[in-house]
Amino acid sequence: MKAHNFKLLGIDPNGEEKGFSLEDFLNKGKKLILYFYPKDNTSGWTIEAKDFSSKIHDIKDKAIVVGISPDSIKSHKNFMEKHNLKIYLLSNPEKDVIEKYGALGEKKMYGKVKKGVIRSTFLIDENGEILYSWKNVKAKGHVEKVIEKLNEFQ
């Protein structure tokens, strides 16, 4: 299955704000780890973002890591600086890209059903083909599973 194209504003690992598209991350001789999360500074997302950043030395020669949430660029920048993150963070307040990837849906929180971002991760090859996907991700231990799968495709 082909990955959906997008054009979103975001922050690169150096803290620079600019526009990004799917093509910006493809054909670089690396895979793309694209994941969707509900909100900056939530406990689960903080664990996952810090895990990706702390293991970037195991990933950077094989893949580029990009996180997308509805949060603003300002929120992403603060989150990145606070936790010394070394990944890309893109902003999708309209949630259209999140929805295209099937990462927007009904969630049950505190007994109430509401529509929100479902933690999801996609491993995408250099040509934009989705190699593997994870839905309803639990943050703890997830990065290790992604690295394991990434190594299988090398």
- Could you report the per-residue pLDDT of 126-148, keeping only the tens digit for each? 999 999 999 999 888 999 999 99
pLDDT of residue 107: 79
40 in any annotated domain: yes
61 in any annotated domain: yes
In this prediction, what percent of the chain has a pLDDT beyond 70?
100
35 in any annotated domain: yes
pLDDT of residue 1: 92
Per-residue pLDDT tens over the stretch 17-31: 999 999 999 988 999
pLDDT of residue 27: 82
Q: How many domains does one find in the chain?
A: 1
Domain that holds residue 65: 10-15+28-116+125-140
Closest by Cα among 58, 117, 47, 119 to 83: 47
Closest by Cα among 6, 35, 20, 3 to 96: 6
3 in any annotated domain: no
Report the mean per-residue pLDDT for the chain.
94
57 in any annotated domain: yes
94 in any annotated domain: yes
| Pairing mode, strands 31-36 and 112-117 | unpaired
Whether pLDDT at 13 is above 90 = yes
pLDDT of residue 63: 96
Supply the CATH number for residue 42's domain: 3.40.30.10
Helix (H, G, I), strand (E, B) or coil at 121: strand
132 in any annotated domain: yes
151 in any annotated domain: no
Per-residue pLDDT tens over the stretch 33-63: 999 999 999 888 889 999 999 999 989 999 9
| Backbone φ and ψ of 151, nearest 5° | -65, -30
